[in-house]
Amino acid sequence: MPLLINREVVADNWVLINEESLDQAGDVIVPLGLYLENKETLESRDGQLAIQVNGDDDLSVVLDNLDKFPLIAVDFPAFRDGRGFSIARLLNRAGYKGEIRATGDVGRDRIAYMERCGFTAIQISDEIYKEEMLSAFTEVSNYYQSAADGNRAVYHQ
């Protein structure tokens, strides 16, 4: 899957694991529920450990341990589910400095807004990725709302 960081496609060295692949070597992303069930095992393995959250998860454990995770993946299970935008803003406001990655149902019409909300990486499925998607970052020059990206809303200019 193409991974966009700083508006460019880059190599991805992280692997999303499940219950059957808990012994996966290298840098892994673990769904929050699976992490909580296997915390000791996962934290004692070699390689970096990241977590994946979605709008159904209780983020209190994540917010209390932000320094443990170099990457937090926020899953968008469906196009109509926008809770991931709020999660990214919440992580930014809490002072999280690692990579905030959007995963799941990520489409061209949302990637510029994801960047504005604080996502630092966006993972797009192979089926929908096209090079033209990168132009979505610059198509809108004025916004009506302030966001994590520091661009001021039109009414403040």
Cβ atoms within 10 Å of 155's Cβ, excluding its own:
8
For 100, the 3-state DSSP assignment is strand
Token couple for 72: 């937090």
- What's the whole-model pTM score? 0.84
C-alpha 25/C-alpha 14 separation (Å) is: 10
Q: What is the pLDDT of residue 4?
A: 78
pLDDT digits (tens, 9 = 90+) for 23-32: 888 999 999 9
pLDDT digits (tens, 9 = 90+) for 9-64: 888 999 999 888 888 889 999 999 999 999 998 988 889 999 999 999 999 999 99
Hey, what domains does the chain have and what are their CATH numbers? 3-156 (3.20.20)
